[in-house]
Structure 1
Amino acid sequence: MKENISTVKMPVAVICIFVWIGFLGAISFMEAWMKFQAPGITLPLGLGIGRMVFNALNKVEWVMCIAILINLIFIGKDFLKFKNITFLIPLVLLITQTLWLLPALDARAQLIIDGESVAPSNLHVYFVLIEGIKTICLFIFGVSLFKRAKSIQDIT
């Protein structure tokens, strides 16, 4: 009797993708706004915490991203193929966040911490949109790395 089971094309990449998604969910979609609900957390204190946490998250994202890239290169896959677009989009967005968005948000937070008045901005909206797009793309890419084996003999 043949069994249908799932196999994973790149286990290291799959692990990194879903760990990355976990970090995004826990930090970007939960911690970021919940810290301001805690008793005694002022806006400057919350922004200071946020700056530290998002700096650390950015580093973790780069570790996950580089591990995925190494996994793609190691197995000889051309990661610039269109089928990998759901990985390339988060890569481009991560570069954008690292070089532009996070420094802009950091500078803005520092002004508020220093007691300066800042004009309204859409930077946080951009950040949330980017995090949402990264999460969706990473999920699609992670799922795409699973394949259906027709039988146990197909994977041995």
Structure 2
Amino acid sequence: MHDTSTALIEAFACTWFGMVAAISFLEAPLKFRAPGVTIAIGLGIGRLVFRALNLVEAVLAVALVVTVAVGRPETAATVLAAVAVVTLVIQLVGIRPALNRRTDRVRTAADPDSVPRSHTHFAYIATELLKLGVLLALGVVTVAG
């Protein structure tokens, strides 16, 4: 049965998916290719954009949790929603602070290229890919259900 809570879960999952895909995998890498955008400027823009994205993601995560709690969808949808939310929390609490510290170092360095590269970025990309897969699966599960 396709009820209101299922439709809301679909909407939240698809909106969240689209925002992450557009920002993380289109805007983020492309801004560094724009003429005149230095590493420091690109990182400053990225911090603003990701702060806004993460705020919207947090709102969508709360809306998803409330909708799942009230609507009591199938187990698969509940588990997928939980994984998406937990992945976001890991990013916000465990990964973003380290990325922000590195961004601060790069932006204040006399020679930004002298700041060692960080492997933390790969963890963020991996969690973004996980989140995209989970949100896509959540959308499919609710549409099919």
TM-score norm. by structure 2 comes to 0.88
Equivalences for residues 32-71 of structure 1 within 5 A: 32-71=28-67
Equivalences for residues 75-94 of structure 1 within 5 A: 75=71, 77=72, 81=75, 84-94=78-88
Higher normalized strand content (fraction of residues): 1
Q: Secondary structure at the match of 2:32?
A: helix
The structural deviation recorded for 1:78 is 7.3
Q: Does 1:127 align with 2:124?
A: yes
Partners of 2:144 and 2:76 in 1: how far apart? 18
Q: 2:94 aligns with which of 100, 107, 113?
A: 100
For 1:109, the equivalent position in structure 2 comes to 103
Higher normalized helix content (fraction of residues): 2
Q: Secondary structure at the match of 2:118?
A: coil
Segments of 5+ residues of structure 2 without an aligned counterpart are: none
Partners of 1:133 and 1:127 in 2: how far apart? 10
RMSD of equivalent CA atoms: 2.0
For 2:68, the equivalent position in structure 1 comes to 72
The structural deviation recorded for 1:83 is 5.6
Q: Secondary structure at the match of 1:71?
A: helix
Cα deviation digits, residues 15-43 of structure 1 (max 9, x gap): 11100001011100110110000000000
Tell whether the 8 Å contact from 2:65 to 2:81 is kept in structure 1 after alignment. no
* Aligned positions, number: 141
Partners of 1:21 and 1:52 in 2: how far apart? 19
Tell whether the 8 Å contact from 2:76 to 2:141 is kept in structure 1 after alignment. no
Q: Secondary structure at the match of 1:27?
A: helix
Tell whether the 8 Å contact from 1:24 to 1:135 is kept in structure 2 after alignment. yes
TM-score norm. by structure 1 comes to 0.82
Higher-Rg member (1/2): 1
